[in-house]
Structure 1
Amino acid sequence: MNLNDLTLIQEIARLGSFAAVARQHGVDPSSIGRLVAGIETELGLRLFSRTTRRMELTEAGALYLARIAPLSEELERAREDARAMQSEPRGTLRLSASATFGQQFIVPRLAAFRAVYPEVGIEGVFSDTNIDLVAERIDLAIRLAPEVQGDYVVSKLMDTRYSVVAAPAYLAKSAPLLRPEDMQNHRAILFPFRDFRSRWLFRDAQGDITDQPVAGDIVLSPSGALRDAALAALGPALLPDWLINDDLAAGRLIHCLEGWEVTATTFDTAAWLVYPSRSYVPGKVRAMIDFLRSARDG
């Protein structure tokens, strides 16, 4: 028994014949009769008394319809509400990102998002652990990586680039930092991942790559903590552009090693939009994807 069955029974009771219902649905009356017979067999009771002129509800059928009418209406309202949620941005959006990306890129933009989509609530799950989207009921995740593995829908939000930066106060009192080999004269602020804390890769304008060892005695995570340490003039740090663009523009940090690209893993990295399924993407998810893309370009 499903909602369509309940609706069919109510239509027959209202119109009084299989033929009238069949005309509404554009089907043969005999198919309606077979559907009703199947429903009656499933229920174990006779819903209609058939005559040559009209169909009437049996006493049991009338009692049954009286009880299911409110349920049928509620199910229809629930279905319409669910469909509206698919098309209109509303409901609670569970959004996952790394701790620093969530705090630095997403949270400052939430006020603008809520101004446009006031009926969408946000649950931010900001963690440096790649959590299971399905198990944790995540609607949308932003992953920072060269690529994303897994049975998900993946779309690039933006390319990401890394730079070696330091505070003006640190550079004023330290040895020059103009070429990769100059790193040997500096104690870097390091991220705890193995590739980030042992050596950095530098690529010049000709495409030649230098594998430069780095060392330091301040190891921090998440990356927002490295940024704060760099701002405090504790040393040079390798940081992503989305985290430090404002600091560079304001002069709080200075881009070191001009003319060199730098990374700890690969030069091609990105922020990726990740969500569980391409089918029936809720309006709230589509709204956030479009908003993040516009925030990226703005």
Structure 2
Amino acid sequence: MDIETLRIFVRVAQRGSFAVVARDCGTDPSSISRTIAGLEDELQVRLLQRSTRRMTLTEAGAKYLARVEPLLDELDRAKDDALTTSAEPIGIIRLTASVAFGQKCIAPLLPELREAFPDLGIDLVLTDVNLDLVSEGVDLAVRLGPSRDSALIGVKLADTRYRVCASPAYVAGSRERELPLAAPADLAAHRCLLLNLPDYRSRWLFRDSGGATSEIAVDGDVLISNPLVLLTCAVNGMGPALFADWMVRDELASGALVELFPEYAVTATDFETAAWLLYPSRTYLPRKVRVVIDFLRREFGHSAP
């Protein structure tokens, strides 16, 4: 057997599908099926149980995977160490983030990342679904909160702060209608733009400079599931909305939005919030992943400890 056969076996075990692995490898499912069948013939043992929906490991397959996967990691580590002093990182890194964070914060960095590491390919998966990193073959994820999964390693990327914002036109119109926006309690008289998540659409939490916290009920007849669309509506003067600072940095700088209560800390969930880099826990972390982690931490100003 060759090393590539073992890698395909590990991928199928992780992904649970010939078709998915074939797509990842740019080949057809029958080729992957033949590779696994050949490995089983050579070992004289069934490694995978086939079904119409998913491949699952047999008891023998699970034992084989437990021995083979660390060996492949060690081979990758040896290759990585040999190339460290003479070559740039190569290969494709599969990175996932939410649609909004990816568009606002990750996509603008891709030209610089490409310039820094021209031999590094990037597979950027933007989705608001928290993908299973192992089964989906993801190297690195950006999540807006730490992971509760003990199988993942978390590295803080950047602290975040939330802001209540509205367009200058909306603020001016509110004054004309004698609907002030001087204090958080004034939001009761306004139809807010609401992110359609349980913790965001009914009340926001405010903390003043003295540390006193108040819960302000918010109401509105526009609920939006996508933060980017929420941002468009706020810029177009439809009402106040709650945003993470990374979401509205450019709009505040350009004057398209104004922060309504800058003297308050505000949140919908927790005042201590951050963006985190997550990756599967394993002994060997590929160099291509390490360099992207270091690049992102440097760009977001959160240096490694």
Task: Give the alignment's TM-score, normalised by structure 2.
Answer: 0.69
In 1, Cα distance between equivalents of 2:240 and 2:133: 35
- Opposite residue 222 of structure 1, the aligned amino acid is N
- 1:112 matched residue in structure 2: 112
- 2:148 corresponds to 1:149: yes
- 2:229 corresponds to 1:230: no
Task: Provide, for residues 56-104 of structure 1, a one-character-per-residue CA deviation record: whole Å limited to 9, x for no partner.
Answer: xxxxxxxxxxxxxxxxxxxxxxx68971498442111100111100111
Instruction: Indicate conservation of the 8 Å contact 1:202/1:262, yes or no.
Output: yes
Mapping of residues 152-231 of structure 1, within 5 Å: 152-174=152-174, 175-231=179-235
- 2:267 corresponds to 1:263: yes
- 2:294 matched residue in structure 1: 290
In 2, Cα distance between equivalents of 1:133 and 1:104: 22
- Opposite residue 205 of structure 1, the aligned amino acid is S
In 1, Cα distance between equivalents of 2:78 and 2:256: 49
In 2, Cα distance between equivalents of 1:288 and 1:133: 16
- State the shift of 1:297 in Å: 2.2
Instruction: Indicate conservation of the 8 Å contact 2:191/2:220, yes or no.
Output: yes
In 2, Cα distance between equivalents of 1:204 and 1:139: 40
Cα distance, 1:96–1:236 mapped onto 2, change above 3 Å? same
Query: Structure 1: any 5+ residue segments left out of the alignment?
Result: 4-78
The 3-state SS of whatever aligns with 1:95 is: strand
Instruction: Indicate conservation of the 8 Å contact 2:80/2:286, yes or no.
Output: no
Mapping of residues 1-298 of structure 1, within 5 Å: 83-84=79-80, 87=84, 88-145=88-145, 147-150=146-149, 151-174=151-174, 175-297=179-301
Misfit runs of 4+, over 2 Å: 79-82, 84-88
Task: Provide, for residues 226-271 of structure 1, a one-character-per-residue CA deviation record: whole Å limited to 9, x for no partner.
Answer: 1111111111110001111121111111010131111000101110
Cα distance, 1:275–1:81 mapped onto 2, change above 3 Å? closer
Instruction: Indicate conservation of the 8 Å contact 2:193/2:239, yes or no.
Output: yes
Q: Kindly, what percent of the aligned residue pairs are identical?
A: 46
In 2, Cα distance between equivalents of 1:177 and 1:80: 58
Task: Give the alignment's TM-score, normalised by structure 1.
Answer: 0.70
Cα distance, 1:173–1:2 mapped onto 2, change above 3 Å? closer
Query: Structure 2: any 5+ residue segments left out of the alignment?
Result: 4-74
Aligned-CA RMSD value: 2.1
In 2, Cα distance between equivalents of 1:122 and 1:2: 27
- State the shift of 1:225 in Å: 1.4
- Aligned length, in residue pairs: 222
The 3-state SS of whatever aligns with 2:200 is: helix
Instruction: Indicate conservation of the 8 Å contact 1:100/1:224, yes or no.
Output: yes
Instruction: Indicate conservation of the 8 Å contact 1:191/1:221, yes or no.
Output: yes
In 2, Cα distance between equivalents of 1:152 and 1:165: 34
- Opposite residue 255 of structure 2, the aligned amino acid is G
